[in-house]
Amino acid sequence: MTKETNLYKIGAASKITGVNIATLRVWENRYGVVEPIRINGTQRGFTKKEVDRLSMIKQLVDAGDSISTLAKLSLEELELRMQPSAKNSQVTFGNAKDIIKAVSVGTRIPEVGRPSPHLAEVRVVARYELASIMDDLSAIKLDVDIIIFEIASLHPNTVELITGILAKSEISHAVVIYRFGSPNGMKLAQLDGRIHPMQAPVFPADIQIACNFAVNSTLGSSPSVNVSQEKKEHTPFSEKELWEINMMSNPIHCECPKHLSSIISSLKGFEKYSADCEDLNEKDRVLHKELETIASQARIIMEQALRKVIKENAISYSTANPS
């Protein structure tokens, strides 16, 4: 193994730390935060220690510290400085797991463990070969938090396979380590909300960060919005309820309940139409998946608005239209 193979290129360092490439360059040139090694005399290469420092600095900057204050601090000094931030994180993420239980599907997934003491341990409790579960997507029936996949390529068909395994196994998240990916496959994975793709090669620390981001949302100063989780916790209106609300005598001095129920019905119809567009070419399938996701998000917002109107006005829509 050559020295250069142990280095992270700037794109990988950006993905791992959450610091965009332009900011990394500013931090290097203006503040001297890091001194990357030049790969082949041109590309920046970051060591594991530098990536760890950048991850901590990003969290501290998000918490309110200035980059000029942090720029010259050592890894040990940053760790000490993060201790009060860690306490705040425990308040923000009161239900964060200290151990993330995982299942691995693939042949080259390393043991993860706890490379960073600031993040939850990732404990692989079972290992499968993808070929062994292809005929029975419900084969994984374990109480775990996440599935770690290793696949050769990420394209729409593999994304659909992964979503099928998630649905059958009732596991909420997946980290997918891939070697080659099509733009449409990447887009579908990102639209799903439960799938977190990572391009190989990856190290145990990379997988630990991705699993923590997916399960605990511990990267950054606030939890990320998980659309799939929001959908899971949300109770939609049934067609019967929407019909009753739309037909009932006006119980308040505005038409908001009727207008909202009508909008929700239209969004439900468009959501189903987009989901049913399976016989399209790959580009159109991706577009309709995106439209389905957007329509679903809009429907949830409208349903939350309708529930608020119903609650604030104490409307009982099942009896509001006695006729």
Please tell me which residue, 248 or 278, carries the higher pLDDT value: 248
Q: What is the dihedral of CA 127, 131, 136, 141, to 10 degrees?
A: 10
Distance CA 49, CA 45 (A): 12
Q: Where do the H-state alpha helices sit in 125-238?
A: 130-133, 156-169, 183-192, 204-215, 227-233
Q: Which pair of tokens denotes residue 176?
A: 């997918």
Residues above pLDDT 70, as percent of the chain: 80
pLDDT at 148: 94
Nearest to 244 by CA among 141, 294, 316, 170: 316
Q: Measured between alpha carbons, how far is 61 from 245 in angstroms, rounded to an integer? A: 48
**pLDDT range class, residue 96, cuts 50, 70, 90:** low
Q: Which amino acid is at 150?
A: E
CA distance 181 to 177: 10
Q: Cα–Cα distances in Å, from 282 out to 183, 187, 288?
A: 11, 12, 10
pLDDT band at residue 175 using 50, 70 and 90 as cut-offs: very high
d(CA 306, CA 302): 6
Instruction: Indicate left, alpha or beta for 141 from its phi (over 0: left) and psi (-120 to 50: alpha).
Output: beta
CATH level 3 topology of 99-223: Rossmann fold (3.40.50)
The pTM of this model reads 0.47
Residues 6+ apart with CB under 8 A from 82: 56, 59, 60, 118
Residue ranges of the domains in the chain?
A: 3-92, 99-223, 234-312
Q: What is the CATH number of domain 3-92?
A: 1.10.1660.10
Q: Is the pLDDT of residue 220 over 90?
A: no
Written as one letter, the residue type at 304 is: Q
- Residue whose entry in the numeric block shows the structure tokens 């196994």: 169
Q: Which two tokens stand for residue 111?
A: 């043991």
pLDDT, residue 5, reads 59
Mean per-residue pLDDT of the chain:
78
CB-based contact 298:196 (threshold 8 Å): no
The pLDDT tens digits of the residues spanning 111-154 come to 888 888 778 889 999 888 877 777 777 778 788 999 999 888 88
Given a contact cutoff of 8 angstroms between Cβ atoms, the answer to whether 37 and 75 are in contact is no
pLDDT, one tens digit per residue, over 289-321 is: 778 788 888 888 888 888 888 887 777 765 444
State which amino acid sits at residue 96: A
Q: Is the pLDDT of residue 222 over 60?
A: no
